[in-house]
């Protein structure tokens, strides 16, 4: 078995948990690939962790492809998994997310469950949870690489405190003009992120839907709108400024208001490893304190 480790500079208090991961992989005789920024950061803090370890270093998509891992273990929070999808893209590499961040809807393996979750991975006691993505094209021909998002695509104002107007078309038919600070197009995966903070619904991950969630709309009848993910959206921004921002997860691009964006479902999915200790309802209960009475 070949497993790639992915992450950024970890916090010092998370080093012992990275050591637990390494020890389990070594114990199972796994071939290990390590993302260079992660390796460099850990070596700087504690050189002996990689001193006598046999591993392959990868730096980009091509080197990850050459290593050809069976799984990728993400060491961080949900943002780390979003970064990992940029490397994986359409490659068939399932991600196991170990939460070393904060809330962790995607990276939902708690630090205390690392060993049991890895045991489940090694013995095949897991399921693959396939997540849909959004992809975007532009009318101006400007290329965004990568041009997909696992959580959401957001259109927002740039260098202005004034509202923007997002003229939105569904399969070529006029839908609405959103007068707001911006508009979020979210996947079911992203429904627990930015969209949720703006009043959007929580959507089960296996739902074939996207949700349009306005950001601070001027008209209070502009509510979040759930659509089937087979639809194509066309959007054009009207603004007092000549430019607006479009973000794909955490990657931000600037466009002129003449540019139209075409948003639709991507032609590939990302696979997340869900062990027998994990499921979406229990993640919601744990992360959002559902079923707990905090009134007293």
Higher pLDDT, 276 or 223: 223
**Minimal CA–CA distance to 166: which of 150, 152, 184, 149?**
184
Q: Which two tokens stand for residue 134?
A: 């959004």
- The rounded distance, in Å, linking the Cα atoms of 191 and 141 is 29
Residue 279 binned pLDDT confidence (cut-offs 50, 70, 90) = confident
pLDDT tens per residue, range 88-146: 998 999 999 999 877 778 888 989 999 999 999 999 999 999 999 999 999 877 777 88
- The rounded distance, in Å, linking the Cα atoms of 235 and 31 is 46
Domain containing residue 51: 2-132+269-288
Please tell me the predicted confidence (pLDDT) of residue 265: 98
**Minimal CA–CA distance to 95: which of 80, 115, 114, 110?**
80
Same domain for 190 and 226? yes
Same domain for 57 and 159? no
Same domain for 69 and 165? no
Over 80: is that where the pLDDT of 162 sits? yes
Q: Is 243 inside any structural domain?
A: yes
Strand order in the sheet with 56-58: 56-58, 31-35, 2-6, 71-76, 95-99, 270-275, 126-131
- The rounded distance, in Å, linking the Cα atoms of 3 and 254 is 36
Q: In 3-state terms, what secondary structure has residue 171?
A: coil
Q: Is 221 inside any structural domain?
A: yes
Same domain for 6 and 128? yes
Please tell me the predicted confidence (pLDDT) of residue 144: 77
Over 70: is that where the pLDDT of 11 sits? yes
Same domain for 55 and 96? yes
pLDDT tens per residue, range 57-92: 999 999 999 999 999 999 999 999 999 999 999 899
- The rounded distance, in Å, linking the Cα atoms of 150 and 270 is 8
Please tell me the predicted confidence (pLDDT) of residue 296: 61
108: domain CATH number? Answer: 3.40.50.10330
Q: Which two tokens stand for residue 120?
A: 């489940």
- The rounded distance, in Å, linking the Cα atoms of 99 and 96 is 10
Same domain for 23 and 62? yes
Q: In 3-state terms, what secondary structure has residue 190?
A: helix
Same domain for 226 and 209? yes
As annotated, the active-site residues are 78
Same domain for 274 and 214? no
Please tell me the predicted confidence (pLDDT) of residue 142: 74
Same domain for 95 and 218? no
Q: Is 238 inside any structural domain?
A: yes
Same domain for 180 and 128? no
Q: Which two tokens stand for residue 13?
A: 């208090």
H or E segment to which residue 21 belongs: helix 15-27
Q: In 3-state terms, what secondary structure has residue 167?
A: strand
Please tell me the predicted confidence (pLDDT) of residue 47: 60
Please tell me the predicted confidence (pLDDT) of residue 262: 96
Q: Is 295 inside any structural domain?
A: no
* Mean predicted lDDT score pLDDT of the chain: 91
Q: Is 39 inside any structural domain?
A: yes
Same domain for 25 and 172? no
pLDDT tens per residue, range 165-204: 999 999 999 999 999 999 999 999 999 999 999 999 999 9
**First and final C-alpha spacing in the chain:** 50
**pTM confidence score:** 0.90
Same domain for 173 and 77? no
Please tell me the predicted confidence (pLDDT) of residue 50: 63
Q: Is 296 inside any structural domain?
A: no
Q: Is 293 inside any structural domain?
A: no
Over 80: is that where the pLDDT of 155 sits? yes
Q: Is 294 inside any structural domain?
A: no
177: domain CATH number? Answer: 2.60.200.30
The total number of structural domains in the chain stands at 2
Over 70: is that where the pLDDT of 49 sits? no
Please tell me the predicted confidence (pLDDT) of residue 217: 95
């Amino acid at each position: 078995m070949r497993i790639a480790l992915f992450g950024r500079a970890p916090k010092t208090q998370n080093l012992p948990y990275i050591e637990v991961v390494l020890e389990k992989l070594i114990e199972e005789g796994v071939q290990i690939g390590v993302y260079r920024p992660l390796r460099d950061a850990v070596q700087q803090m504690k050189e002996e962790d990689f001193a006598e370890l046999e591993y392959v270093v990868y730096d980009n998509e091509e080197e990850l492809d050459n290593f050809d891992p069976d799984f990728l273990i993400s060491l961080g929070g949900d943002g780390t998994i979003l970064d990992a999808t940029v490397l994986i893209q359409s490659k068939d590499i399932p991600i196991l997310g170990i939460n070393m961040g904060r809330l962790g809807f995607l990276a939902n393996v708690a630090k205390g469950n690392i060993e049991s979750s890895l045991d489940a991975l090694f013995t095949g006691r897991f399921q693959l949870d396939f997540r849909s993505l959004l992809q975007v094209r532009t009318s101006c021909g400007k290329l965004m690489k990568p041009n997909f998002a696992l959580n959401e695509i957001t259109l927002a104002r740039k260098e202005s405190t004034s509202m923007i107007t997002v003229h939105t078309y569904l399969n070529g038919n006029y839908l609405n003009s959103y007068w707001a600070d911006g508009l979020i197009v979210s996947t079911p995966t992203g429904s627990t992120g930015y969209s949720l903070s703006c009043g959007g619904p929580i959507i089960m991950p296996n739902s074939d839907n996207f949700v349009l969630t306005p950001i601070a709309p001027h008209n209070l009848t502009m509510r979040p709108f759930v659509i089937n993910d087979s639809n194509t959206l066309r959007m054009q921004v009207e603004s007092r400024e000549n430019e607006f921002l479009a973000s794909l997860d955490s990657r931000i691009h600037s466009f002129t208001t003449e540019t139209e964006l075409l948003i639709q479902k991507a032609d590939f999915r990302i696979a997340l490893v869900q062990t027998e200790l994990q499921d979406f309802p229990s993640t919601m209960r744990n992360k959002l304190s559902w079923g707990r009475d905090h009134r007293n």
